[in-house]
Amino acid sequence: MGVKGLKAVIDAGPLIHLSEIGCLHFLNSFDELHVPEAVWLETVGQDRVFETELSSLKNMQRHSFPEEEVERFVRRNNLSRLHAGELECLFGGFR
């Protein structure tokens, strides 16, 4: 796969745009690619990225975070203006 130990938490925007240009495979550069549930819903759930495309990434890991923990993180860091996918990406990155 990619550079040893290189991990990423990805938001909807990069997934959508890499899919549009047929370049999702570039994400295989990461050892681990973490996709929060909110991002999955914004992309696959709204037919903006095909599930088969994401599932073909061998490094992709889908995550569902406890809502209460994310809410505490949002309050503690004053992040209430961000969208759910962005919030879960930040939460996942600090976890």
Return the domain boundaries, the chain. 7-94
SS3 content of the chain, % helix, strand, coil (to 5): 50, 15, 35
21: how many CB neighbours lie within 10 A of its CB?
A: 8
Specify the DSSP class assigned to residue 77: H
Cα dist from 24 to 7, 12, 67, 70, whole Å: 16, 12, 28, 27
Q: Can you say whether the dihedral through the CA atoms of 84, 47, 45, 20 is positive or negative?
A: negative
Alpha-carbon gap, residue 37 to 42, rounded angstroms: 9
pLDDT digits (tens, 9 = 90+) for 26-74: 999 999 999 999 999 999 999 999 999 999 999 999 999 999 999 999 9
The predicted model scores a pTM of 0.89
